[in-house]
Structure 1
Amino acid sequence: MGADAIRRTKAQPNQFKQYLNNLHAQILMMFVYPIYEALFRTTEGSHFQLLVILLLPIIKVFLKDIVRKSTMHIGDMVPETVIFTVDFFNAIYVATCMQTSSSALSISAITITNILQTVAMLNGLHRRTGSISSKLHNLSQLSSENEKDLLLSVLCSLCRDPEKFKKQNRAGIMIRSCFPHHLSAADTIVLNTLDTAKKETSITRQQSAKPAAVAPYPNSPDSSIRESIFSQQTHCPCFRNRVSFVSPTADSVNVVYPPNQQVKRSTTHKPKLDDTSDHPVILRDSLEALFTIECLVVTTYLEAIIPLFYTTYVLVMIRLPSAKYHTEMVGITHDNVGARILPVFAFGLLEVASLVLLVVTIKRNCMMRAIYQLAFVLESQRSSIQTKLIVWMMITLCFRVMHFGT
């Protein structure tokens, strides 16, 4: 590390503590899930195995809460960190337990548990976003052929129109992201304008010495909502929203475009918005819906590809001489490998169906294409995602070896 690195670390004790908390939370995965797998194998064929299967969703929720609390300081990267840590481990060990289990009852219990979770997820998303569609249609005057991304179009129009934007409840909404994005010149001007206006308003409020000018984030009325979905953060073409401990109150930002900055208007069709005074929370509700959609789509995508990847891994591994040293390959031969991985493959197809249903629900309720949002996350955070996948693959698969050359 060197003396300079040590001095910088000592000068930032809070960041170092947050880093250690995040590191310890991720290391916890390396112990909890192997212990669970050992418990699953121990109860194989007994009446207690059903209880062990029902324990898996509880473990996932518990670990998600731990990782979430340890990563709240990194803003936009909270969903990616939580999903590609906890959900990855959970998906890998679900596939492992299904592949190693010889009981049809155990495999059925795992599948039914997953189906119930999927139904609960879709029902929760439908109830959460069901009212957004009607609000968007009330605000927008788009023709039917231009409604492919109505949610994002309305959000962008709200952000680009100062008169509409200042009527919205913006408690807890921040402008800047914790990592860079490639923006057009027009979007950069809008972003800088909103950011500058917020800073000027904050200074004016402080000089006027009004106690209500700045609202602490933990006491904001929607803090419980943000806490339940990791943190209040979403992305859209205009700006990205993340958590901060201090934010302006609902009516504290008045966006004014500088006279020397002319925003180049896009030639694409933009929705014409009706009066937003009757919908002061449409901006916040839409951003929360975008964040929820991001978490659900990325999670469902990961849970769909992991079983399919695991079946491919087993098919390749059975043909290698080192297969006999891997604990997950015990009892698998060239003759029975197809039967052993068939439940995992069917489980993966079920997850793919869940992803399709989720995309259809989002399209119907929110008028947006969730696949593009998934692609945005995978592209904008590809370095972090690839690093996690490589490291976790090495830990969960390569370390299941009984023979290390001795």
Structure 2
Amino acid sequence: MTGVAAITLGTAMCSVSTLLGLAVIWRFPTPFGYILNIVPYVLFLSTFTILVIGPRVLQRSPVLREQINSQLLIIVSQGGVVGCFTIFSAVFNLLSGTQQTIFILVMPLIKFVTKQNIANVAESYHEYVGPVVVFSVDLFNVFYASICMQASKSIMTTVIIMAADSFHLMLALQAIFHQTRNTATLPKPKSQSFIQELLSLMEKDVEVHPCGRRARLLAPFPLPLSDESRQVVMRFTRTGTFTNDTVINRRRSTKRNPGTNNSTNTATQNNQTAPSSAMVPLGPLASNTQDNNDTTKATSRDIIVDGLHTLFHSEYILLAEYIEFIIPMLYAPYLVALFHLPIAAYYPSTASMTLHKLKHTVTSFLIYGTIEFAAFVALVVVLKRKFGFSPLYQLAFVLETHMFAVQGHLFVWTITILHLTLAHYGL
């Protein structure tokens, strides 16, 4: 804990000192000062992390070096997200109504590029890649969509923003339905749900030779799983069919059976592991000499992997849609509170805002949030009919088991985004 405090205080003090130095040497407010401070911030964070851990410890542990490098890459990439959306917002505010309507088409492109970049550098997070992307890129996109709607001079800009969100949702749903084409042999939800049949297939297939497909199976950190869920994961990881022996991190559930002995706990820790890649290898391809029975089993394994991929994408879409209707609902009361504070004069969005404009803006946000909520409900209904169980369980599982990580992301990024337009940052 002392080391964490040293890294936090050291990085914060040096970063603020850098901003003060820029203001003294150059001018205040420093143009794009927050953006210019991203690189020094990462350097200070890296330096203090190395000093606290110890250079000798890092030299002796290649695994630790790899983990730290991975985390720093993620931080740098998230800093790039801040820079991209901030520059976009600055340019957007300088344009006329027609120009804003055209320029808003750049936002989906920024979202796509930054999302792919975060997903690539966050490979070591395994199945947590989805929440990392959602609570960074998607969170920024929704906030800046709201900010652009507030600053837009044409109603067409708002229409395009909503149309772009709907288009992305349709593409995501199409990907899910396309990915489940190999699961047509699964029984309909009337007899068994999608996930129940998937578990049944995994039980039957767990002892056969693995195929060459890959799927995310394990989390990068302990999760409070139920005893039944933990036993299922243990059973699959023991076989080696759905996990990999070449690992760099070891993680296990935080819940144990009351009667579990030490040897069982050790087995759990040694087997429930997180692989070094974002996707869990399922082994080499089956040889051409296998009989028809093995071919049938290989087909069932393809169904299993497609099913796991589908559930992963379903979880990601649910998180993204959840953010898209929650943020406008939260931003509206924030704007009302900010309007009545003295500091409102230092925010471009509220500096010259009248009470009439405030009411109109808040109404627009509430309408936007209501539309997104309707889209979320429609998504839940569609996925429920597809899978045979309520996808709200997936959303609840992520929000509950990843509670501290999710709250951390929301707190840090929300504070960062809402203060970025402050005049003192020169943006």
Q: What TM-score range do you get, normalising by the shorter chain?
A: 0.7 to 0.9
Query: What code does the residue aligned with 1:135 have?
Result: T
Aligned to 2:345: 324
Cα distance in 1 between the residues matched to 2:80 and 2:149: 23
Distance 1:108 1:330, change over 3 A: farther
Cα distance in 1 between the residues matched to 2:160 and 2:52: 55
Deviation larger for 351-360 or 84-93:
351-360
Aligned to 2:96: 44
Alignment partner for residue 295 of structure 1, among 290, 298, 316?
Answer: 316
Following superposition, the deviation at residue 62 of structure 1 comes to 0.6
Aligned to 1:260: none
Aligned to 2:155: 104
Cα distance in 2 between the residues matched to 1:89 and 1:174: 26
Cα distance in 2 between the residues matched to 1:279 and 1:160: 11
Whether the 8 Å CA contact 1:129–1:365 is kept in 2: the answer is: no
Following superposition, the deviation at residue 392 of structure 1 comes to 1.0
Deviations 1:259-282 (A, max 9, x none): xxxxxxxxxxxxxxxx97764422
Following superposition, the deviation at residue 251 of structure 1 comes to 5.8
Listed as ranges, the matches of 1:109-258 within 5 Å are 109-129=160-180, 132=183, 134-137=184-187, 144=190, 147=192, 150-161=193-204, 166=208, 169=211, 171-173=213-215, 176-198=218-240, 243=278, 247-249=282-284
Aligned to 1:34: 86
Cα distance in 2 between the residues matched to 1:95 and 1:117: 17
Cα distance in 1 between the residues matched to 2:203 and 2:397: 22
Cα distance in 1 between the residues matched to 2:216 and 2:320: 25
Cα distance in 2 between the residues matched to 1:247 and 1:123: 26
Cα distance in 1 between the residues matched to 2:314 and 2:123: 19
How high is the TM-score relative to the length of structure 2?
A: 0.70
Query: What code does the residue aligned with 1:14 have?
Result: E
Whether the 8 Å CA contact 2:206–2:236 is kept in 1: the answer is: no
State the identity as a percent.
Answer: 25
Q: What's the secondary structure of 1:166's corresponding residue?
A: coil
Deviations 1:88-130 (A, max 9, x none): 0010000000012232222223223333333333344344346
Cα distance in 1 between the residues matched to 2:311 and 2:422: 42
Alignment partner for residue 381 of structure 2, among 338, 360, 364?
Answer: 360
Whether the 8 Å CA contact 1:126–1:361 is kept in 2: the answer is: no
Cα distance in 2 between the residues matched to 1:296 and 1:202: 27
Cα distance in 1 between the residues matched to 2:207 and 2:197: 11
Cα distance in 2 between the residues matched to 1:172 and 1:339: 50
Query: What code does the residue aligned with 1:151 have?
Result: F
Alignment partner for residue 18 of structure 1, among 70, 85, 99?
Answer: 70
Alignment partner for residue 368 of structure 2, among 347, 350, 356?
Answer: 347
Query: What code does the residue aligned with 1:61 have?
Result: F
Cα distance in 2 between the residues matched to 1:398 and 1:3: 30
Query: What code does the residue aligned with 1:249 have?
Result: P
Distance 1:190 1:54, change over 3 A: closer
Aligned to 1:62: 113
Whether the 8 Å CA contact 1:174–1:247 is kept in 2: the answer is: no
Instruction: Judging by fraction of residues, say which structure has more helix.
Output: 2
Whether the 8 Å CA contact 1:332–1:340 is kept in 2: the answer is: no
Following superposition, the deviation at residue 287 of structure 1 comes to 0.4
Whether the 8 Å CA contact 1:171–1:247 is kept in 2: the answer is: yes
Aligned to 1:85: 136
Distance 1:165 1:173, change over 3 A: farther
Following superposition, the deviation at residue 31 of structure 1 comes to 1.4
Cα distance in 1 between the residues matched to 2:356 and 2:216: 58
Whether the 8 Å CA contact 1:300–1:351 is kept in 2: the answer is: yes
Following superposition, the deviation at residue 160 of structure 1 comes to 3.5
How many pairs does the alignment contain?
337
Aligned to 1:9: 58
Cα distance in 2 between the residues matched to 1:121 and 1:196: 34
How high is the TM-score relative to the length of structure 1?
A: 0.74
Deviations 1:305-359 (A, max 9, x none): 1111111211222222222222221332223311123222212111111111111
- 1:396 and 2:417 equivalent? yes
Query: What code does the residue aligned with 2:147 have?
Result: T
Distance 1:392 1:173, change over 3 A: closer
The CA RMSD over aligned residues, in Å, is 3.1
Distance 1:244 1:299, change over 3 A: closer
Listed as ranges, the matches of 1:246-285 within 5 Å are 247-249=282-284, 279-285=300-306
Q: In structure 1, list runs of 5 or more residues that go unmatched.
A: 204-213, 215-238, 253-274
Whether the 8 Å CA contact 2:179–2:310 is kept in 1: the answer is: yes
Query: What code does the residue aligned with 2:185 have?
Result: K
